Every structure is written in structure tokens, then in C-alpha cells.
Amino acid sequence: MNTMNSFFSQLKKETQKIRLAAPERERMRLALDAAMASSAPIKSPIQPVPSPYFFAPRSLVPALALILVAGVGTSYAAEGAVPGDALYAIKVGVTEPAREALARSDEAKAALHARFAERRMAEAETLAERGALTAKTALALEENFSRHAAEVEEIVSAVEEENPVAAADISARFGSSLAAHGALIEALGGEGGEENRRESGKLARSIKERERAVAHAEREAVTVTAERGGSGEIAVQTFAKDGAALSASIVVRDADEAVLARIEANASTTLERAETRFSGIRGSLDKETSALVEARIFRIRELIGNFRDTRGKGSEKEKIQQALKDAATLDAFLEAQAKFRGRVLLPAPEIEMFGDEGESEDGNDGRGGGDITIPVPASLPL
């Protein structure tokens, strides 16, 4: 009896080790898909009775069904897929639509679409680094990216009056991300074949144009000058585009301060994340590159500090937006440097504070012409 028990115990242990290999699972999934596609669905005679212990809104049922059909493991494995990979269709055709369906608030939806747009840019970076960004793939990525970017802009526009803090925050973060990834795609696509270089450049320019569109949407039809009175309120004089002063003046609302506070918090959080990434790869960088990254971190921290010191002065509000943009660019380049260790991407390019592409304020062009200059949008109105 003991021998028999030992046999079954060992048999149980061995059977628990049996697993389907990834190719076998993929073949099984494809066979199931083919079988389901070849058979017309029929209505079941069984009428399900809703459980009193589980409730899901009707609008979420398709999303939950997609997750169950795809399988949690498959969906998770697809997260790192890029165009050309077997699981990429699951990523963009199943898991992302499911997440869209699960997003309830406007802010959550905008943040999610921004994340998906960033994914397309990250996928383009991976392909550009491999030298595999073709015209067909770049077009598909750009179309998907543009769809999500347009969703972000539409949602931001819709919620601006009701929740200006969230709208301005999402817009600022998304614009900063576009600037960072556009520069990164351009840097990564500089090598490889002719088609890879051409398509990387075209996609980087398209992303830059989108960033400019986001910046333009933030611009007001008037300019302002601000001055804080003895009561602590800031009187703002408005000017039309032709420079003529308008008769009205307004008082800055608490929401305006909240907008800048949110952007400041995001700039600080993004810089902290960049510093953590830097700590992780510092040992693989030479002393000169490490010193340049440290200088960039110091400069961004200084911008944040200057904003805090001059809080409430209209002429200083662009500092915190600049800090967010610089922190986002540095963070993106540090992440890419860790991912593509065979490429030299650091130090990250400068983002000039004023003007269009060209020279910086002091008349030079940055690091010997190697910088990528990205125009900063007009700052949010106080």
C-alpha cells in the first residue's frame, strides 16, 4: 500500500510539471479561432440566471469577455509586443480596447489614450533602433497614434470648462511626452538603412507637429500681464492680438493656482523617476556623460525651485512648464538608454525655453549643433 501511495504521489508531482510550450499554446489558440470562425453561432436554449453575488454594468461585459477570451497570460505577454510580433494584434485589438471600455471618467479616458499614444511612439523607437521601421509600419503606427492623440485633445477640450485643472494637467503632460518621444525617435532612427532613417525622421516630424498643435490649442487669443495687489489677489490686464489693451481686468481664481500646482507636482515626480533611472545605469556611463546628466538634473531642479520662489508672478509661470518638458525628455532618454544599451543616447537633448527651432537665448546652438530644439507652447494662463 505504501508503495502504491508513493507511486501516485510521485505521479501527481510529475503531472504538475507538464506545461504546454508557447508555440503549442499559440497553435491551440489559432485552431480554436478557426473552429469558431467556421461555425455559425446559435442561440443557446439555456437562459442564464444573474448571480446575486456578482454585478457588472452592461457596458463592461464586452471588455470583460475580451479579457477572458484572450486569456490573462496571453494579454500580459502581448504588452511588450511591437508590430511584426505574433501577439501584437492581441495588444492593439483586444487588451487596449478592453481597457478603453473599462475607463469610466473623462480624465481616466484621456490619460489612457495618452498612454496608448505613448506606446505607439515607444514601439516606433524600438523598431527605429533595430533599423526595421518601414514605410508601411510607420504609417500604421502614425495612424493609430493620431487616433489616440485626437481622443486626448477632444476630451481635454470637452472637460476644460468643468475641470480646467485636470484638462491643463493632461495637456501639459501629453505635450511634454510628445516632445520627448519625438526627439528620441529622431535620435534612434539616425542609423540603419535609408528607409529606416527616412521613416524615423518623418514620424518624428509628425509627432513634433502634433506637439505644436497641442501647444497652439493652449494659447489664448490675448496676452496678459499680472500684478499681485496688497490683498493677495492678482489683477490681470488683458491685451488683444494687435497689442491694444482691453478695458476688462480679472482676478485669478484658485483653479489657476491649482493648475500650476499640478504641473509642478508632475515635474517633480517625473524628475524623481529620471533620477531613479539614472542611478540604475550610472555605472555603465562614462564620467563625462554622467556629469552632463547630473548637470541637467540640477538645472531642472533649479527651474522647479525658481518657480516655487517666485510663485504667483505671471512672468515666472513658464518655468514650471519648462521644468516638466525637460524632466520628461530626460526621463525618456534615460529609459531608452537602459533599454538600448548598445546605443549612445545620453546626454538628452536640450529643450530651449523660447522661440522656434534655432539658436538658444545666448546665441549658441547648444552642444555643438547636436541638440534637438523643440519649441515650448505658450504657458497656461494664470
- Return d(Cα 261, Cα 321) in angstroms, integer: 11
**In this structure, is the dihedral angle defined by the CA atoms of residues 65, 70, 74 and 80, taken in order, positive or negative?**
negative
Residue 145 and residue 208 in contact, taking contact as beta carbons nearer than 8 Å: no
Sorted by sequence, the CB contacts under 8 Å of residue 319 that are 6+ apart come out as 303, 304, 306, 307, 310
CA distance 197 to 141: 16
Helices 317-339, 164-188: axis angle to 10 degrees equals: 40
Q: Count the neighbouring beta carbons within 10 Å of the beta carbon of residue 160.
A: 14
3-state SS assignment for residue 223: strand
Handedness of CA 305, 307, 311, 315 (dihedral sign): positive
Residue pair 322/305 in contact (Cβ under 8 Å)? The answer is: no
Find where cell 518624428 sits: 204
Angle formed at CA 257 by CA 253 and CA 258, multiple of 5 degrees:
105
Separation of alpha carbons 43 and 136, rounded Å: 41
Map residue 62 onto helix, strand or coil: helix
Q: Are 332 and 340 in contact (CB under 8 A)?
A: no
pLDDT tens-digit profile, the chain (382 residues): 566 566 567 666 666 666 666 666 666 666 666 666 655 555 555 555 554 444 445 554 554 454 455 455 555 567 888 999 988 988 998 889 988 888 888 989 999 999 999 999 999 999 999 999 999 999 999 999 999 999 999 999 998 888 888 888 899 999 999 999 999 999 999 888 999 999 999 999 999 999 988 877 665 433 444 444 555 444 444 444 444 444 444 444 566 788 888 999 999 999 999 999 999 999 999 999 999 999 999 999 999 998 888 775 555 667 888 899 999 999 999 999 999 988 889 988 875 433 333 333 344 443 333 333 333 333 333 3
DSSP structure string for 258-299:
HHHHHHHHHHHHHHHHHHHHHHHHGGGS-HHHHHHHHHHHHH
Gap between the Cα atoms of 182 and 369, Å rounded: 18
Report the relative pairing of strands 223-228 and 245-251 from DSSP bridges: unpaired
Taking Cα atoms as reference points, which of 315, 325, 305, 339 lies closest to residue 377? 325
